[in-house]
């Protein structure tokens, strides 16, 4: 019975695909992503199956996601948008949507419903943080530490990062105020519920910077996600923050003596947007791809290649084992209950307001 | 005089005066020369002059505020922010109109982003207001509707506001292609100026943005509010429009309960009551601003005039200064290291000199990124240099040197990368100094030191000059190496510029920083020309 219903659904999708194809979809797509293992996971989980289903369609990658806002702005000013589907972090998606550079979509109409029958907007839930944004994964910025450099009692709390007496040595933190200021306040005794209220005040900002001052001389500031894994592998730092998927590959794939410290990990979202101003043919193709690439099965498939949590609730039960290593992926997901005891979500709305100001303060503080 | 007349009189074989003929030939020649360099000229124009001009314009351009909220900007002119009061109801009415149109065009969030550079919180103020601004004036819609339900019919408005020709064209339109674009009825703008303006804006947005028709859409609440304002204005006479419903409304609306737009905005977000918010809008309402330049030198444009930024925000002056002195240090260490090598190359037999030349040029064939990353491996705490020093016992294992992610790292790596630009001009100048001069000095009794100091060195100065200019100007704009090995204290102003271009796009500020850097380089070049003389620079013997 179940099988037939799945067949039924895919038949409907296939019919819908054909119907759309009649509306003349372009056959070339330029997809924008981050490169590396993450892009490879998208290639394996979405693009190859999509191309297998749609003969004659080609997809080309552009590894420009880190500069997506600036480049889309420039393309828009030049009146020549060359990208079709763009992978961006949620904060950038909100900014692009604000600036009218991304297409606003009706999630329930455009996206496939969940395998469990829930509507797309219910399935993604709160993760739809912008009208332009189709969430794909939940990742987190969290810490890893060197097993051989932390003595007999490995760190168990994010506040151990600020404890130079117990864990002497260098740390690596992102060269950017986001998350660092939150961690500093949490470790200075501020309750997570009050963190942003405190950070809105001048005194609260001073308090956070004062806490960071205590370790300032022992920090290497990173700007690329690959820096911390490299620094940990070289033994340059005792512990450092980075994206959890990077640490997974360092620990499980490269077998380095490093462990995860999930305490107070900061969740963030990554997903797709479609640039505004595409021709109808290209837009139809982009929407068709998006519908396929963000259905329940595809999102669950991506977790075979990288340890980021699928954004759909209905995908979670389908997460299986790693494609090469064969290990269970669920315990490596940032959303796994064992890992997610203390967490917070990147506060997009708040940072959209305070980013310009706090970033200037943070950079000035770094330069002092 | 007579000579000139005689020349004028000279004519060529075909009868044209010689002068004209010569000029023509010269012009043709010039044109041909110009055609030859045309590709280069166009290339430089497109890839160099034009972007620099664009950058200069962006650093002062600030049209967005007056484009997105023009009515507000005009009415705000009379408001004095030092009064400490929120602007008048009139300003809020203008803001309601501007905001409604901006929201439909999705411009309000862009403006919020722009103003957030100047004042924290503007981004969410505009975004949150945008979500609810279409409720403002709803009270008027209801009151008009209570007066006569026909006011809630789109067609009532179309008949009242639309040009008869347009109404006819719209009715005849078959639904294929775009609907004929809306036209206002003659004379309506004179009687009901605000209503006509808003209704026209509404019709345009409905047709263009929503691809819908004003004949099927009830106007925005602000159109009703505008109608109320127009009807309440002194001496309004609606008879010329000959619409009974309007005449009835003129009488009926006198009893309407007024709705304050100001209260409406403050209810949506109480920040609208804050004079500082309005001060920021007023301070940045002109189409040209010095704000970016002021920010680029650690000043800020506030409603009260130009003020230095808080101490915990000063960074750019420090970065400019750091860029200068580090570039000079790098140039100087390039001279120190490059001079002996160039001398060696100029004085060794050709075979050995060529070998050194290859070694000097070899790094050019390696990617910049690879060379910089290699320094990372060498200089880090667990790196080759520190390991060697520990192994030979010069430093203890706990006293490893911090050679990277700081000023030292940047200077070492950049000296290495820029060294060939010093060695090559030095070498070619030294090659041109005849060895016999040194021998002559010595035969006249000079010691080695004197001969070098008074004979050889002065002749090699043009090479030092050329090398220094190359290295200094290259390093002042360097980006990738400081980014990788500079940590926080060893980065240049260019790293901030890159940050504002791609990471946190604030192109105005990036352009202002870039313009200042350009001016500084030109000024230094000018000073160099005055002191040393640019004629003294030689790239070859």
Distance CA B98, CA B115 (A): 16
Mean pLDDT, residues A270-297 taken together: 95
Q: Residue A88 region, left (φ>0) first, then alpha (ψ -120 to 50), else beta?
A: beta
Q: Could you read off the pLDDT of A59-117 as tens digits, one per residue?
A: 999 999 989 999 999 999 889 999 999 999 999 999 898 888 999 999 999 999 999 99
- The CATH class given to the A2-132+274-331 domain equals alpha beta
The answer, yes or no, to whether residue A184 has pLDDT greater than 70, is yes
State which residue of chain A sits closest to B318, comparing Cα positions: A367
Yes or no: say if A150 and A238 are a contact pair by the CB < 8 Å rule: yes
Q: Considering only residues B209 and A359, tell me which one the structure prediction assigns the higher pLDDT.
A: A359
**Of the listed ranges A262-276, B174-188, B467-481, the one predicted with least confidence:** B174-188
Smallest Cβ distance to B109: which of A99, A209, A357? A99
* Token pair belonging to B336: 């120190």
pLDDT of residue B374: 92
Q: Could you read off the pLDDT of B497-524 as tens digits, one per residue?
A: 999 998 888 999 999 999 999 999 999 8
* CA B460 from centroid of its chain's CA atoms: 42
Pairing of strands A171-174, A239-243: parallel
Distance CA B98, CA B67 (A): 10
Long-range contacts of A224-232 (CB under 8 A, 24+ apart): A226/A36, A227/A172, A228/A144, A228/A172, A229/A144, A231/A170, A231/A172, A232/A144, A232/A145, A232/A146, A232/A172, A232/A256, A232/A258
H or E, element range at B166: helix B164-172
pLDDT of residue B421: 93
pLDDT of residue A9: 43
Test A356 with B405 for CB contact under 8 angstroms.
Answer: no
| A chain contacts of residue B46, beta-carbon cutoff 8 Å | none
Distance CA B44, CA B408 (A): 37
Distance CA A79, CA A86 (A): 17
Smallest Cβ distance to A235: which of B117, B382, B503? B382
Residue A150 DSSP label: S
Smallest Cβ distance to B120: which of A73, A223, A356? A356
Test B313 with A364 for CB contact under 8 angstroms.
Answer: yes
Q: Could you read off the pLDDT of A19-61 as tens digits, one per residue?
A: 444 458 899 999 999 988 899 999 999 999 999 999 999 999 9
Mean pLDDT, residues B464-483 taken together: 92
Yes or no: say if B159 and B165 are a contact pair by the CB < 8 Å rule: no
Q: Could you read off the pLDDT of B157-201 as tens digits, one per residue?
A: 998 899 999 988 888 888 777 788 888 988 888 889 999 999 999
Smallest Cβ distance to B121: which of A209, A235, A353? A353
Based on the number of CB atoms within 10 Å of its own CB, is A9 exposed (0-12), middle (13-18) or buried (19 or more)?
middle
The answer, yes or no, to whether residue A17 has pLDDT greater than 70, is no
Query: Helix, strand or coil for residue A169?
Result: coil
Residues of chain B with pLDDT > 70, as a percent, come to 97
Rg of chain B taking only CA atoms, in angstroms: 36
- Nearest chain B Cα distance for residue A349, angstroms: 7
Test B123 with A352 for CB contact under 8 angstroms.
Answer: yes
Q: Choose, out of A97, A228, A352, the residue to mutate when testing the contact with B (most B CBs < 10 Å).
A: A352
Residues contacting residue A86 through CB under 8 Å, at least 6 positions apart: A31, A32, A65, A68, A72, A102, A272, A273, A274, A275
Q: Choose, out of B105, B271, B292, B313, the residue to mutate when testing the contact with A (most A CBs < 10 Å).
A: B313
Residues contacting residue B84 through CB under 8 Å, at least 6 positions apart: B275
H or E, element range at B309: none
Per the prediction, chain A carries an average pLDDT of 90
Distance CA A74, CA A94 (A): 17
Of all residues in chain A, what percent are helix, strand and coil, respectively (each to 5)? 50, 20, 35
Pairing of strands A28-32, A171-174: unpaired
> Model confidence at A1, in pLDDT bands (50, 70, 90)?
very low
Query: Using alpha carbons only, what angle is made at residue B326 by residues B324 and B332, rounded to the nearest 5 degrees?
Result: 105
* Token pair belonging to A38: 């993450």
pLDDT of residue A21: 47
| B chain contacts of residue A354, beta-carbon cutoff 8 Å | 120-121
- Nearest chain A Cα distance for residue B522, angstroms: 26
Interface size A-B, in CB pairs within 8 Å, comes to 80
N-term to C-term CA, chain B:
50
Yes or no: say if A91 and A348 are a contact pair by the CB < 8 Å rule: yes
Pairing of strands A309-310, A134-146: antiparallel
| A chain contacts of residue B102, beta-carbon cutoff 8 Å | none
pLDDT of residue A162: 97
Does 3.40.190.10 match the CATH number of domain A141-267+337-367?
Answer: yes
Residue A239 DSSP label: E
DSSP state string for B349-407: -HHHHHHHHHHHHGGGGS-HHHHHHHHHHHHSTTSHHHHHHHHTTSS-GGG----SSSH
The answer, yes or no, to whether residue B4 has pLDDT greater than 60, is no
The answer, yes or no, to whether residue B81 has pLDDT greater than 80, is yes
Distance CA B349, CA B196 (A): 90
pLDDT of residue B7: 52
Q: Taking Cα atoms as reference points, which of B219, B420, B451 lies closest to residue B337?
A: B420
The answer, yes or no, to whether residue A6 has pLDDT greater than 70, is no
- Nearest chain A Cα distance for residue B16, angstroms: 51
| A chain contacts of residue B405, beta-carbon cutoff 8 Å | 220-221
Test B113 with A365 for CB contact under 8 angstroms.
Answer: no
pLDDT of residue B9: 65
Yes or no: say if B508 and B500 are a contact pair by the CB < 8 Å rule: no
Residue with tokens 């500031």: A221
Test A363 with B127 for CB contact under 8 angstroms.
Answer: no
Test A99 with B381 for CB contact under 8 angstroms.
Answer: no
Smallest Cβ distance to B120: which of A175, A354, A366? A354
Longest C-alpha distance within chain A, in Å? 68
Per the prediction, chain B carries an average pLDDT of 90
Pairing of strands A85-89, A28-32: parallel
Q: Domain residues of chain A, as ranges?
A: 2-132+274-331, 141-267+337-367
The answer, yes or no, to whether residue B243 has pLDDT greater than 80, is yes
pLDDT of residue A23: 58
The answer, yes or no, to whether residue B150 has pLDDT greater than 70, is yes
| B chain contacts of residue A98, beta-carbon cutoff 8 Å | 109-110, 112-113, 123, 127
* Token pair belonging to B393: 């016992």
The answer, yes or no, to whether residue B269 has pLDDT greater than 80, is yes
Distance CA A232, CA A143 (A): 11
pLDDT of residue B516: 95
Q: Taking Cα atoms as reference points, which of B520, B345, B329, B536 lies closest to residue B426?
A: B345
Domains of chain B: 2-58 (no CATH), 66-134+261-283 (no CATH), 138-255 (no CATH), 316-536 (1.10.3720.10)
> Model confidence at B212, in pLDDT bands (50, 70, 90)?
confident
Smallest Cβ distance to B405: which of A220, A357, A367? A220
Q: Taking Cα atoms as reference points, which of A207, A204, A231 lies closest to residue A219?
A: A231
Rg of chain A taking only CA atoms, in angstroms: 21
pLDDT of residue A8: 43
Residues of chain A with pLDDT > 90, as a percent, come to 77
Q: Choose, out of B387, B502, B507, B509, the residue to mutate when testing the contact with A (most A CBs < 10 Å).
A: B502
* CA B479 from centroid of its chain's CA atoms: 18
Test A66 with B502 for CB contact under 8 angstroms.
Answer: yes
Helix B316-347 to helix B507-531 angle (10° resolution) is 50
pLDDT of residue A18: 43
**Is the Cα dihedral B377, B379, B385, B387 positive or negative?**
negative
pLDDT of residue A352: 85
Pairing of strands A219-222, B305-308: unpaired
Strand partners, A29: A59
> Model confidence at B105, in pLDDT bands (50, 70, 90)?
confident
**Is the Cα dihedral A68, A70, A73, A77 positive or negative?**
negative
State which residue of chain B sits closest to A360, comparing Cα positions: B313
Distance CA B408, CA B333 (A): 12
Q: Choose, out of A63, A70, A71, A93, the residue to mutate when testing the contact with B (most B CBs < 10 Å).
A: A70
Yes or no: say if B492 and B326 are a contact pair by the CB < 8 Å rule: yes
> Model confidence at B8, in pLDDT bands (50, 70, 90)?
low
- Nearest chain B Cα distance for residue A13, angstroms: 29
Yes or no: say if B541 and B431 are a contact pair by the CB < 8 Å rule: yes
């Amino acid at each position: 019975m179940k099988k037939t219903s799945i067949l039924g659904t895919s038949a409907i999708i296939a019919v819908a695909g054909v119907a759309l194809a009649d509306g003349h979809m372009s056959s070339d797509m330029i997809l924008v992503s981050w490169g590396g293992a993450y892009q490879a996971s998208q290639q394996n989980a979405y693009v190859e199956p999509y191309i297998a289903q749609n003969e004659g369609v080609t997809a080309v990658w552009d590894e420009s996601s880190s500069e997506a806002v600036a480049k889309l702005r420039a393309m828009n000013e030049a009146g020549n948008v060359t990208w079709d589907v763009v992978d961006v972090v949620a904060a950038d998606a909100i900014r692009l949507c604000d600036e009218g550079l991304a297409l606003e979509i009706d999630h329930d109409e455009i996206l496939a419903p969940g395998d469990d029958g829930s509507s797309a907007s219910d399935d993604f839930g709160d993760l739809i943080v912008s009208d332009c944004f189709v969430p794909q994964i939940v990742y987190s910025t969290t810490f890893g530490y060197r097993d051989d450099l932390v003595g007999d009692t490995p760190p168990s709390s994010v506040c151990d990062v600020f404890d130079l007496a117990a864990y002497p040595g260098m740390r690596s933190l992102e060269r950017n105020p986001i998350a660092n200021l939150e961690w500093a306040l949490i470790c200075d005794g501020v309750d997570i519920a009050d963190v942003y209220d405190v950070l809105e005040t001048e005194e609260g900002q001073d308090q956070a910077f004062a806490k960071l001052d205590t370790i300032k001389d022992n920090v290497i500031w990173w700007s690329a996600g690959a820096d911390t894994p490299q620094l940990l592998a070289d033994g340059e730092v005792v512990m450092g923050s980075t994206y959890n998927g990077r640490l997974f590959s360092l620990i499980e794939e490269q077998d380095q003596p490093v462990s995860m410290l999930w305490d107070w990990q900061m969740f963030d979202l990554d997903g797709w947007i479609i640039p505004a101003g595409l021709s109808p043919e290209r837009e139809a193709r982009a929407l068709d791809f998006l519908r396929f690439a963000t259905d329940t099965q595809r999102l669950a498939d991506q977790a075979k290649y990288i340890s980021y949590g699928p954004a759909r609730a209905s995908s979670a039960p389908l997460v299986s084992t790693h494609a090469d290593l064969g290990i269970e992926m669920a315990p490596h997901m940032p959303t796994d209950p064992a890992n997610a005891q203390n967490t917070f979500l990147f506060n997009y709305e708040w940072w959209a307001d305070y980013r310009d100001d706090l970033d200037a303060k943070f950079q000035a503080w770094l330069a002092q | 005089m007579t000579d000139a007349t005689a020349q004028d009189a000279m004519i060529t074989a075909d009868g044209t005066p010689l002068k004209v003929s010569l000029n023509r030939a010269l012009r043709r020649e010039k044109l041909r020369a110009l055609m030859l360099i045309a590709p280069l000229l166009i290339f430089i124009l497109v890839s160099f002059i034009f972007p620099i001009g664009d950058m200069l314009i962006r650093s002062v351009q600030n049209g967005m505020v007056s484009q997105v909220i023009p009515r507000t900007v005009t009415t705000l002119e009379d408001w004095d922010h030092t009064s400490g009061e929120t602007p008048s109801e009139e300003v809020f009415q203008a803001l309601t109109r501007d905001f409604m149109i901006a929201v439909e065009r999705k411009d309000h969030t862009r403006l919020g982003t722009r103003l957030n550079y100047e004042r924290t919180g503007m981004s969410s103020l505009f975004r949150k207001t945008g979500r609810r601004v279409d409720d403002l004036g709803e009270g008027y819609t209801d009151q008009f509707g209570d007066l006569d339900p026909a006011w809630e019919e789109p067609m009532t408005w179309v008949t009242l506001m639309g040009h008869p020709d347009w109404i006819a064209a719209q009715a005849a339109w078959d639904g294929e292609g775009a609907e004929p674009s809306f036209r206002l009825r003659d004379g309506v703008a004179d009687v009901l100026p605000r209503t006509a303006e808003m209704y026209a804006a509404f019709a345009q947005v409905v047709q263009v943005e929503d691809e819908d028709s004003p004949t099927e859409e009830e106007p925005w609440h602000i159109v009703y509010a505008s109608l109320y304002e127009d009807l309440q204005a002194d001496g309004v006479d609606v008879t010329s429009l000959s619409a009974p419903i309007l005449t009835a409304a003129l009488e009926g609306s006198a009893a309407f309960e007024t709705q304050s737009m100001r209260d409406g905005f403050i209810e949506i977000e109480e920040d609208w009551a804050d004079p500082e918010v309005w001060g920021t809008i007023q301070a940045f309402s002109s189409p040209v601003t010095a704000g970016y330049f002021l920010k680029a030198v650690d000043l800020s444009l506030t409603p009260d005039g130009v003020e230095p930024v808080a101490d915990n925000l000063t960074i750019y002056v420090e970065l400019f200064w750091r860029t200068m002195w580090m570039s000079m240090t790098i140039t100087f260490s390039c001279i120190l290291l490059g001079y002996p090598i160039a001398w060696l190359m100029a004085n060794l037999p050709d075979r050995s000199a060529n070998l050194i030349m290859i070694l000097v040029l070899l790094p050019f064939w390696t990617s910049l990124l690879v060379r910089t990353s290699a320094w990372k491996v060498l200089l880090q705490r667990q790196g080759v240099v520190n390991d060697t020093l520990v192994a030979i016992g010069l430093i203890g294992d706990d006293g490893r040197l911090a050679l990277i992610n700081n000023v030292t790292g940047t200077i070492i790596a950049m000296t290495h990368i820029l060294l060939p630009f010093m060695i090559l001009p030095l070498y070619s100048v030294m090659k041109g100094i005849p060895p016999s001069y040194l021998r002559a000095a010595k035969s006249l009794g000079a010691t080695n030191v004197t001969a070098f100091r008074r004979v050889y060195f002065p002749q090699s100065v043009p090479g030092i000059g050329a090398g220094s200019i190359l290295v200094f100007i290259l390093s002042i704009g360097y980006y990738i190496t400081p980014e990788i090995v500079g940590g926080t204290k060893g980065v240049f102003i260019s790293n901030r510029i890159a940050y504002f271009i791609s990471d946190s796009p604030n192109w105005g500020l990036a352009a202002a920083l870039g313009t200042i850097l350009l001016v500084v380089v030109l000024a230094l070049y000018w000073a160099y020309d005055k002191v040393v003389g640019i004629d003294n620079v030689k790239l070859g013997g």
